[in-house]
């Protein structure tokens, strides 16, 4: 019997919306409301990212600098816990909740694999009932939050998932992996999985997903 595993992306998949910008605004509102004045700068930076001026990691690092500023590990942890309380369960799509319950009933190991920041994704995953959370790591250096180990995005998710399986003593060939994502950037992990489910895609993207042999689903 192969070990049954279900992996979920977070933003736009398990949750109905993105989390990074909402967290930044939440953090600024809680700690220093004057930092909300950086919102137009952040919007401009996101536009510049779309034009290729930044990598995703650089964009995230800028957002953390603008909206959190000087912060301790304990302060960041407290903000993250409060943010997670606001997210779960209200941001979980009805389709995602049904799929999650099915996977739980099937006895699957439940893994959250996301590019979201680990400091709040771990709290979201814990509240939702995931067994393991794989997310973008960070550390506090001179009271500044710095991303470490790269952005957990796209191709980078595969070695992180494999590391969790290795730590659990689960050879890949002895596992059946079902992975859900709303993003074509997750194509490497979708293709790596035994059962790929592309969610919330719309007609055009669903057609591309089906052409690659993936299933499609609506998690909203």
> pLDDT digit string (tens) for 170-214?
999 999 999 999 999 999 999 999 999 999 999 999 999 999 999
Q: What are the C-alpha distances in Å from 5 to residues 11, 56, 102?
A: 20, 28, 12
pLDDT tens readout for residues 5-30: 999 999 999 999 999 999 999 999 99
pLDDT value at residue 73? 97
Which run of H or E residues covers position 25? helix 20-31
Q: CA-to-CA distance for 181 and 157, rounded, in angstroms?
A: 12
Band (1; pLDDT cuts 50, 70, 90): confident
Pull the structure tokens for residue 89: 């369960």
pLDDT tens readout for residues 118-159: 999 999 999 999 999 999 999 999 999 999 999 999 999 999
pLDDT value at residue 20? 98
Residues of the chain by 3-state class (helix, strand, coil), percent to 5: 55, 20, 25
Domains and CATH numbers, the chain: 3-217 (3.40.50.1000)
| Residue 42: pLDDT over 90 | yes
| Residue 35: pLDDT over 90 | yes
- What angle, rounded to 10 degrees, do the helices at 39-50 and 56-67 form? 180
* CA dihedral sign of residues 86, 30, 145, 58: positive
3-class DSSP assignment, residue 170: coil
pLDDT value at residue 183? 97
């Amino acid at each position: 019997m192969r070990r049954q595993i279900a992996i979920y992306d977070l933003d736009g998949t398990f949750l109905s919306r993105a989390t990074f910008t909402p967290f930044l605004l939440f953090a600024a509102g809680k700690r220093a409301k004057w930092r909300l004045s950086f919102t137009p700068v952040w919007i401009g930076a996101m536009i510049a990212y779309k034009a290729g001026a930044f990598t995703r990691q650089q964009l995230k690092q800028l957002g953390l600098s603008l909206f959190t500023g000087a912060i301790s590990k304990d302060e960041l942890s407290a903000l993250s816990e409060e943010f997670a309380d606001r997210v779960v369960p209200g941001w979980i799509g009805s389709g995602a909740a049904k799929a999650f319950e099915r996977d739980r009933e099937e006895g699957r190991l439940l893994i959250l694999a996301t590019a979201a920041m680990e400091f709040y994704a771990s709290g979201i995953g814990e509240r939702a009932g995931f067994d393991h959370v794989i997310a973008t790591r960070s550390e506090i250096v001179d009271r500044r939050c710095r991303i470490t180990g790269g952005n957990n995005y796209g191709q980078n998710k595969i070695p992180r998932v494999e590391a969790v399986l290795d730590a659990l003593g689960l050879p890949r060939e002895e596992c059946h992996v079902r992975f859900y994502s709303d993003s074509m950037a997750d194509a490497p992990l979708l293709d790596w999985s035994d059962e790929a489910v592309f969610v919330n895609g719309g007609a055009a993207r669903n057609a591309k997903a089906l052409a690659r042999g993936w299933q499609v689903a609506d998690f909203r």
